[in-house]
Structure 1
C-alpha cells in the first residue's frame, strides 16, 4: 500500500512523516496483539478499549445509517423531484454508487484501521509535497460533516415527536423552540449512552440491530396488508417534476433522498480503535451493512410507493413528514399511525446515539493529530473509562448550539445541516483519487490489508465511486424547488460548504500554521514494537 505503512523501523517512519511526539508514559511489555501491532505500524498508541465485535459493529453501522427509516424521513424531496419512478431508479443508482464507495473505504480501512480514517489515508497516499495540506482538508470536511450529521439526527428525532403531537392533538400549537427542546432531549439521551452506559453500547447495538430488522417487517407487513395499493404504472413509470425542473434534472435533484438514507456509511471506520481484529471486522461490517440496509431500504421504498395513496395529501401533511400521513391513510387510525411512527422514531434516536459515538471519535482523532483549535484538551482520553469524554461533550455542545439556530429560522438550521452530504462525499474523494492513482501508476507501492478488492475490481469501484460522487455532489447543491425561489427554499449547501472550506484553509495557514503536520507518530510505541 503505502510506503509509510510498510516501513519496518520506527526511526524510518518518524523520518518519513517528518515529525514525532515523545511520550512520558512508561514502556509496557511488547504487544503481541494484532490490533496493537497494526496501530503501532501506523505510529499510534492503543488508548481506547476494544469491546466491539462483528455483530455489534454490524448493528452499529446498520442503525447509524438507518436506511429504510431515513428514507421515510426525507421522502418529500424525492417525491417533489422525480416522483415515484425517480425514487425507484434513483435508489438503485445510489445504492450501486454507495456500494462502490463503501467497498473502496473498506479496502483502505483494512490497510490502515484508525479512527481518523479518511484524513489518515490521504496523508499516507499523497505526495510528500502536499500531503499535510490534503490530509488537513480531508479531516476538516470529515469533522464538520459528522458534527452536522449529529445535529441533523437529533433534529429529526425531535421533529418526528412534534409530528406525532400534530397528528394526535389538532390543537397543538407548533413552535420551533419546541423542536429545539426536543432536540436537546434526544442529544442528552445519546450522551448518556456514550458516557455512563458506554460499556453496554456493544450489547445495545446488537439488540438495536434486531429492532432494526424486526421493526422493518412490522412496518412493512402492516403497510402492505392494510393500505390500498396503486398500480405498477404509478410506481415504476410515473415521474413528477413539482420542483420546476425538466424530468432529467428532477431525477438527479431528487437523488438527495436516497443519498441521505445511506449517509454515515463510514461510521464503523471511526470506531476502528475500539474493535477487535479491526482490519478484517470493519471492512466486513461496512460491506454487510450497505448490503443489508440496501435490501431493506429498497423493499420499504417499493412498499410505500405502492401504498402511498393520495400524493398531494402526503406532501401537504401538517405533521411535516409525508410518511406519517401515508401510515395514517394505510391504517385509518391515529393510534396505528403513531405506533408505526414510534418504530421509526425509536430507531432514529438510537441512530443519534451511534452518530454521537462516531462523531466524537472522528473529532478526537483529528484533535489527537493537532488538527483542531484546542486539540490538547479535545484529544484527552479519560483514563478510567478509556473514553474521549471531552470530545463527546464538545460534540453535544455543538449540537445544542446549532439547535438554537432552529428557534430563529428552520431554513438557517437546514442550511447548516446541508453540510452533511457535501462534507461526507468530499472527505471520501481525496483518498479514493490518490489510491486510484497508485493502483494505476504505482501498484507495487500498495501494501494491502487482509481485506482487498483485487486490482481490477478495486479500480472499477474507485472509478465508478468517484464519478458517482461527482454527480451527486453537483446536484446536492440544487434547490429542491426552482420556481418562486425564496431565502427559505434556497439550497445554501454550496455556500456553506464553500465557506467552511475557505475557513478551514484559512485556519491551516493561520492559527494552525506549523501545528498540523499530518498524523503524529508516537515514537516510543514504534520503538517498543520494533525494538529500535
Structure 2
C-alpha cells in the first residue's frame, strides 16, 4: 500500500471571484485553521486515539464471555481483518477529500447531487454523537479508575455514581481549556504519549510474563473454547468478534485535523494505515500475554474496571497495580484530549456550513482554533454524563453507539462510490487502484452485517438490565436531528463550501 502513496497534492478547483465574494465571511483569514501539526504528530493523534492495547483492556469482558482465550485471541485477528478492509477504503476517501469535517465532508462529495446535502447533514450530526459517546466513555473510565484506586487503598470508601460524574465534569473542563488554547502542545504531547505507550507495551509484556510465573497452558489460551454468554456457540463467535472490533475504534481521528497538516492527501492516509498496523500488533500480543497470567476468568468478565483486575491477579500487589492504573489513566486521558480536539473541529466544520444552531457565533475562531465549537462538546459532556448517574442500562446503550455509528459513517461514502462508480473520485495521493471496487464492496457488507450484530444483547437470556437499547438510542438521535433539520437548519445548511478549505484541500 505504501507504494501507492505519492507526494504531490491534488489540484485545486477553480472558483470564480463572484462566488468567493458571495460566500466568504467578512474576515476570511479568521476562518482558516492554522497549519500546526506535522506528519509525526498526526500519526501520533491516530495511534494515541486508537491505542488498541490500552483501550481494549477496558472491554475484554464480551469476547472472553463468548469464548474464553480463543474467543479473544481469534476474535481480535478476525476483527483486525474486518477493520483493516473498512479503514483502508476510508483512507483512500480521506486522501481524496481531506477536511476537518471528516466523514461529513466525504459523504457530501461522494453522494449524488440530489441527496448529498441531506446525507451530509445527518452524517455530520451522527459523527458528533458518536464522538460524544466515545469521549464520555473514556473520561468516565479515567474518573472511575481514579476512584477505584482510592478504594483500593481505602477499603472503607465506596465510590458512588455521582462522585464519578463530578470528577468527569472536572476532567472535561481541564481538557477543554488545554485543547482550546494549546492545541499545538497537545499534538506534541501525543508524540510523547505514543512513545510512552510503546514503551509501556513492552514493559507490560515483561511484567506479565516474567515478573510472575505463567499460570495458564497454551491450550487455555488458544484451544479451550469457553462460551458462558448464553448464546449458541455459532452466534457467540460473531458476538465476540463484534466485541473485538472496539480494539480498532477511532481510526478516523487523523481526518479531523486534515486542514492543520501539510499535504493531507498524503499524510492522513499514512496516519490511518500506520495506526491500524500498530494497533493490530500491540493489542494481539498483549492479550495473548494476558491470557497466560489470569487466574480467575469470571472475575475478569464481571469486573467494572477489567485492567485493575488483570494486574491484581497477575501481580497481587497494591503498589504495582496502582502504578499501572495511573499509567492507564494517563493513556486514556490523552484520548480524551484528542477527542476534544476532533469534536471541536467537526462541530466547527458543520457550523461553518450553517449546520448547527447559532452557526455564525459558533464558527468564529479564536487564535485559529475552534474554541466555541469545542465548548459545545463540553456542554454536551455535562448533559450526557447524567445518563451514567440516572441509568447504567441507558448509559451502556449510548456508549455502544460509538463504533456502531462510526463504522456506518465511514461505510456510507464507500457504498456511494461503489454504486456511482469510482470515476467520481479526484486525483489523490493514496489510491486503491484496481482493488478499489472489491475493498469498497467488502467494507460495505462488513458494516451492514456487524451493524446487526451490534444490536444484539451480549448475553442470553436477556433481562431488562442486560437488554441492548442501541436502536432506541440511535432512533432518538435521528429524531432530534430530523426535528432540527426541518425546524430551521435545512434553510441555513449549505453543505461544504469549497472555497473555505484552503488550496491544499480543494477538490
Q: TM-score, normalised by structure 2?
A: 0.92
Is 1:357 paired with 2:341? yes
2:198 maps to which of 213, 231, 248: 213
Structure 1 Cα separation of the partners of residues 399 and 308 of structure 2: 22
Structure 2 Cα separation of the partners of residues 108 and 13 of structure 1: 30
Is 1:201 paired with 2:186? yes
Structure 2 Cα separation of the partners of residues 182 and 81 of structure 1: 33
1:471 maps to which of 440, 449, 453: 449
Is 1:387 paired with 2:369? yes
Which residue of structure 2 aligns with residue 39 of structure 1? none
SS in structure 2 opposite 1:244?
A: coil
Query: Do 1:270 and 1:362's aligned partners in 2 also have CA atoms closer than 8 Å?
Result: yes
Report matched runs for 1:484-495 at 5 Å: 484-486=462-464, 488-495=465-472
Q: CA deviation at 1:214?
A: 0.7
Query: Do 1:110 and 1:448's aligned partners in 2 also have CA atoms closer than 8 Å?
Result: no
Q: Which moved more, 1:278-287 or 1:511-520?
A: 511-520
Which residue of structure 2 aligns with residue 23 of structure 1? 25
Which residue of structure 2 aligns with residue 506 of structure 1? 483
Which residue of structure 1 aligns with residue 358 of structure 2? 374
Query: Do 1:99 and 1:290's aligned partners in 2 also have CA atoms closer than 8 Å?
Result: yes
1:480 maps to which of 442, 458, 472: 458
SS in structure 1 opposite 2:489?
A: coil
Which residue of structure 2 aligns with residue 67 of structure 1? 52
Query: Do 2:90 and 2:411's aligned partners in 1 also have CA atoms closer than 8 Å?
Result: no
Which residue of structure 2 aligns with residue 35 of structure 1? none
Report matched runs for 1:103-252 at 5 Å: 103-225=88-210, 226-252=212-238
Q: CA deviation at 1:354?
A: 0.8
Shift of the 315–20 alpha-carbon distance from structure 1 to 2, 3 Å rule, reads same
Query: Do 2:205 and 2:286's aligned partners in 1 also have CA atoms closer than 8 Å?
Result: yes
Shift of the 331–121 alpha-carbon distance from structure 1 to 2, 3 Å rule, reads same
Which residue of structure 1 aligns with residue 291 of structure 2? 305
Which residue of structure 1 aligns with residue 431 of structure 2? 452
Shift of the 107–46 alpha-carbon distance from structure 1 to 2, 3 Å rule, reads farther
Structure 2 Cα separation of the partners of residues 190 and 146 of structure 1: 15
Q: CA deviation at 1:24?
A: 2.4
Query: Do 1:91 and 1:255's aligned partners in 2 also have CA atoms closer than 8 Å?
Result: yes
Q: CA deviation at 1:408?
A: 2.2
Q: CA deviation at 1:169?
A: 2.3
Shift of the 343–523 alpha-carbon distance from structure 1 to 2, 3 Å rule, reads closer
1:10 maps to which of 6, 12, 15: 15
Q: CA deviation at 1:254?
A: 2.2
Structure 2 Cα separation of the partners of residues 12 and 121 of structure 1: 25
Shift of the 480–355 alpha-carbon distance from structure 1 to 2, 3 Å rule, reads same
Shift of the 260–20 alpha-carbon distance from structure 1 to 2, 3 Å rule, reads farther
Which residue of structure 2 aligns with residue 56 of structure 1? 41
Query: Do 2:208 and 2:293's aligned partners in 1 also have CA atoms closer than 8 Å?
Result: yes
Query: Do 1:20 and 1:523's aligned partners in 2 also have CA atoms closer than 8 Å?
Result: no
Structure 2 Cα separation of the partners of residues 13 and 153 of structure 1: 46
SS in structure 2 opposite 1:450?
A: coil
Structure 2 Cα separation of the partners of residues 522 and 399 of structure 1: 32
Q: Which moved more, 1:507-516 or 1:143-152?
A: 507-516
Q: CA deviation at 1:523?
A: 8.1
Q: CA deviation at 1:73?
A: 0.5
Q: Which moved more, 1:141-150 or 1:408-417?
A: 408-417
Structure 2 Cα separation of the partners of residues 485 and 91 of structure 1: 28
Shift of the 345–409 alpha-carbon distance from structure 1 to 2, 3 Å rule, reads same
Query: Do 2:259 and 2:501's aligned partners in 1 also have CA atoms closer than 8 Å?
Result: no
SS in structure 1 opposite 2:355?
A: coil
Aligned residues: 495
Which residue of structure 1 aligns with residue 407 of structure 2? 425
Q: CA deviation at 1:417?
A: 1.9
Query: Do 1:7 and 1:13's aligned partners in 2 also have CA atoms closer than 8 Å?
Result: no
2:389 maps to which of 407, 429, 432: 407
Is 1:334 paired with 2:318? yes
Shift of the 227–136 alpha-carbon distance from structure 1 to 2, 3 Å rule, reads farther
Query: Do 2:183 and 2:341's aligned partners in 1 also have CA atoms closer than 8 Å?
Result: no
Q: TM-score, normalised by structure 1?
A: 0.87
Deviations 1:134-160 (A, max 9, x none): 111221211111111111111111112
Q: Which moved more, 1:517-526 or 1:327-336?
A: 517-526
Query: Do 1:228 and 1:330's aligned partners in 2 also have CA atoms closer than 8 Å?
Result: no
Q: Gaps (5+ residues) in structure 2?
A: 1-9
Root-mean-square deviation over aligned CA pairs:
2.5
Q: Which moved more, 1:191-200 or 1:362-371?
A: 191-200
Deviations 1:320-379 (A, max 9, x none): 223312211211211111212222121001111111111111111111111122222221
Deviations 1:307-328 (A, max 9, x none): 22221232344xx223312211
